[in-house]
Amino acid sequence: MQVQPLKSDSATRAGQTDKGFSPQLISAVNGVFEVLAVGYGNQYHAAYPNAEQSNLAKRLWAKHLSHYPVNLLMKVADDIIGKETFLPSIAKFKSHCDHAYDAFGLPSVDSAYVEACRAPQPKKQFKWSHPAVYFAGLTTDWFFLSSEPKDKVFPVFKRNYEMLCDRVIKGEKLDVPIEKALPAEITTPMTREENKQHLHQLREKLKL
């Protein structure tokens, strides 16, 4: 079953998807519902007795799940049928999504935001709960994080963090680069006049 466009969207331009949902999200929601249909059988069919009901539900679920990485949705669907006796509501499914980050060592979006805001300098040397938090902060911009109000910064950080989480869930490894130690003594190049003077002193000392 596919998420069908609403009647009011029948004139949607070619290439666009229902209500702005990406093809990846639509595919993920379809997959979630297929897993739930198999896992909950009669409960599922009682809740969604026909294609019209299931498609309405899918659009509603897609709206509320659109901010989660699509790979996470399928993992949660597979996990939830082994943990929940009853067909989950959207709220229950979202709760499982929020906790599923733990399986990948990822903190929640809210926790990641607080960690990024509070991490001291130098950022590369801070012990991050997960590299995705560091890169989300880096991409968002550390100064922007520290100088602007949460209602302006959080949506940007959230988008960046969830994109990174999606990459982690797909199997990509993120590593915070190691900060190179500074030399014990930092020297600056001498000017031309300083070079001449130094050479003169050296010659005087060596009696050249």
3-state secondary structure labels for all residues of the chain: CCCCCCHHHCCCCCCCCHHHCCHHHHHHHHHHHHHHHHHHHHHHHHHCCCHHHHHHHHHHHHHHHCCCCHHHHHHHHHHHCCCCCCCCCHHHHHHHHHHHHHHHCCCCHHHHHHHHHHCCCCHHHCCCCCHHHHHHHHHHCHHHHHHCCHHHHHHHHHHHHHHHHHHHHCCCCCCCCCCCCCCCCCCCCCCHHHHHHHHHHHHHHHCC
What is the pLDDT of the chain when averaged over all its residues?
82
Other Cβ atoms closer than 10 A to 60: 12
The predicted structure's pLDDT at residue 61: 95
Q: Which residue has the higher pLDDT, 30 or 207?
A: 30
Residues of the chain above pLDDT 70, percent: 79
Query: What pLDDT is attached to residue 15?
Result: 39
Record the tokens describing residue 205, joined without a space: 């000392």
Which residue, among 99, 105, 95, has the nearest Cα to 164 in the 3D structure?
Answer: 105
Could you tell me the two tokens for 180? 């190179």
Number of Cβ within a 10 Å radius of residue 57: 17
State the pLDDT at residue 81: 93
Task: Please report, for the chain, the start and end positions of each structural domain, with discontinuous segments joined by +.
Answer: 7-103, 109-169
Residue indicated by tokens 């790979």: 71
Higher pLDDT, 52 or 181: 52
pLDDT at 84 over 70: yes
Distance, CA of 164 to CA of 200 (rounded, Å): 59
Q: Which of 87-96, 151-160, 185-194 has the lowest mean pLDDT?
A: 185-194
What's the rounded mean pLDDT across residues 172-187?
Answer: 68
Please tell me the predicted confidence (pLDDT) of residue 87.
96
Bigger pLDDT: 102 vs 114: 114
Yes or no: say if 31 and 124 are a contact pair by the CB < 8 Å rule.
no
pLDDT above 60: residue 184: no
What is the pLDDT, as a whole number, of residue 5? Answer: 40
What are 78's two structure tokens? 């597979």
End-to-end CA distance of the chain: 92
| Per-residue pLDDT at 20 | 78
pTM: 0.54
